[in-house]
Amino acid sequence: MYDLTVIIPTFKEEANIRNIITEVDAVFQKNALNGEILVVDDNSPDNTIAIVNELKKTMKNLNLLVRTSDHGLSQSVADGFLHACSDVFVVIDADMSHPPSLIPKMFEEIRAGSEVVIGSRYMEGGGIKKWPLKRRIISLGATFLGRLLVPDITDPVSGFFAVRQSVVAEAHLKPRGYKILLEVLGKGTWENDKEIPFEFSDREIGTSKLKIKTIIEYAQQVLDITLYSFTHHQSAAWREWKKIFKFGIVGLTGIVVNVAILNLLLLAGVRYEIALVFAIVVAIFNNFLWNDLWTFKDHARKSISSIWKRLQLFYVVSAGGALINYGVAVILVYVVTMDGNLANLCGILLGFIWNFVVNRRVTWPRTRG
């Protein structure tokens, strides 16, 4: 048994493989880590396998898994999880895009209690060197989509991460394409994560395998994780659904409060325009309180410590939601000539999505670390 296993997925990496193995092993030695290196290769037609076999003669902690079916990066990593001889896995690319020097820090964080540790390109201190605009845009799109499932993670599609075996032990991973981390985060069982910034450097040698098919597979994967969460309630994606559901219920109580206040004030003889303003302001206050005490109770009060600040943010975001509701309904009625009630429902839905997504990130972000 080792303390950790560094999994290196490879396909046609003869130009890089010796280098990455040597570097990872040097990091092990320097930090007195009892680590295994597991190369998972998809039966590369070049010299990758031969080079690993040659290195294996002198390195006891180097293992090789050659796969001959179900070709794919994510599938290879998932296979690596099954074949690793330790309880902590670190996944790293072979092409030197990820700095092996961060491995000890990741391992330390795992030992300190994190279940997933992610090398993030998108948090403060992280970055990407030498990427063409097209790749940056694709990556940002993928990150945005992934963050709908796990909003607290800045880089849910990073290829550089550490994870405890227990996180994936019960998960039915069905990874396709490139984004194994999102599969792990979406389907795995975990509570504590940690992100560490790093600068991604583009490969200098060897060929890239990113294709259009990759993007389609990714969209399918996001959908698959969403469906999975409906039947697997320990998953992180389900935690997010629960919040959306609670936020929705709170929204409904807001309607009740709104209607009640409006009618009370009208009964008391207050003019309609004035009564309506009160009704809206109090309803938003009602929603704030319930969301603060219930929907986001596990992460409220932590990152933005002042309740007044959270209340102000909530009012501002809600005003945005109301504007979206209004704008969408008006456009649908006047431009698309949609039925008024249907148009309003569409507006309410979009306003709701805005309110949830923005409040989730701005008013009640979760603290970490």
Ligand X SMILES: Nc1nc2c(ncn2[C@@H]2O[C@H](COP(=O)(O)OP(=O)(O)OP(=O)(O)O)[C@@H](O)[C@H]2O)c(=O)[nH]1
List contacts with ligand X (CB under 6 A).
9-11, 13, 40-42, 71-73, 76, 93-95, 97, 159, 202-203, 208-210
Alpha-carbon distance 12 to 14, whole Å? 6
Can you tell me the distance from the alpha carbon of 287 to that of 282, in angstroms, rounded to the nearest whole number?
Answer: 9
Residue closer to Mg ion, measured from CB, 71 or 129: 129
Q: Closest CB to ligand X among 3 and 46?
A: 46
Residues in the chain: 369
Print burial letters for 343-355: b (CB count within 10 Å at least 16), e (below 16): bbbbbbebbbebb
Find the residue with minimal CB distance to ligand X.
208
Report, in Å, the least distance between residue 179 CB and ligand X: 10
Q: In the chain, what's the furthest Cα-to-Cα distance? A: 91
- Residues 97-116, one symbol each (x = binds Mg ion by CB under 5 A, - = not), give x-------------------
Q: Across the strands, what pairs with 128?
A: 200
**Burial, 98: exposed, middle or buried (Cβ in 10 Å; 0-12, 13-18, 19+)?**
buried
Question: What are the start-end ranges of the H helices in the chain?
Answer: 17-30, 48-56, 73-83, 103-111, 133-149, 165-169, 180-187, 212-231, 236-267, 272-290, 307-334, 340-358
CB nearer to ligand X: pick between 130 and 233: 130
The site partner of 209 among ligand X, Mg ion, none (C-beta below 5 to 8 Å per kind) is: ligand X
- Part in contact with Mg ion (CB under 5 A); list of ranges 93-101, 137-145, 181-189, 221-229: 93-101
Q: Which stretch binds Mg ion (CB under 5 A): 1-9, 27-35, 87-95, 136-144?
A: 87-95
| Interface with Mg ion (CB under 5 A), residue from 13, 95, 152, 183 | 95
Closest approach of ligand X to the CB of residue 31, in Å: 22
Q: Is 139 in the site for Mg ion (CB under 5 A)?
A: no
Instruction: Closer to ligand X by CB, 94 or 284: give it.
Output: 94
Q: At closest approach, how far in Å is the CB of 116 from ligand X?
A: 19
Tokens of 294: 């219930």
Query: Residues touching Mg ion: how many (CB under 5 A)?
Result: 4
Q: Read off the tokens for 230.
A: 């409906």
Residue 200 or 247 with smaller CB distance to ligand X:
200
Closer Cβ to ligand X, 99 or 365, answer by number: 99
CB of 10 to ligand X, least distance (A): 4
Touching Mg ion, residues 195-224 (CB under 5 A): 203
Please state the closest distance from residue 95 (CB atom) to Mg ion, in A.
4
Q: Tell me which stretch binds Mg ion (CB under 5 A): 92-100, 160-168, 214-222, 238-246.
A: 92-100
Closest CA to 80 of 24, 109, 37, 45: 37
Is residue 135 near Mg ion by the rule CB under 5 A? no
Q: How far apart are CA 156 and CA 87, in angstroms?
A: 21
CA dist 117 and 85 (Å) reads 19
Token pair recorded at residue 350: 């979009």
In angstroms, give the least distance from the CB of 129 to ligand X. 12
Cβ-based nearer residue to ligand X, 83 or 297: 83
User: What residue spans of 31-132 are helical by DSSP H?
Assistant: 48-56, 73-83, 103-111
Nearer to ligand X, 9 or 146 (CB): 9
Instruction: Using DSSP bridges, classify how beta strands 161-164 and 116-120 pair: parallel, antiparallel or unpaired.
Output: antiparallel
**What CA–CA distances, in Å, run from 28 to 2, 33, 97?**
11, 5, 19
Min separation Cβ 72 and ligand X, Å: 5
Contacts with Mg ion by CB under 5 A lie at 93, 95, 97, 203
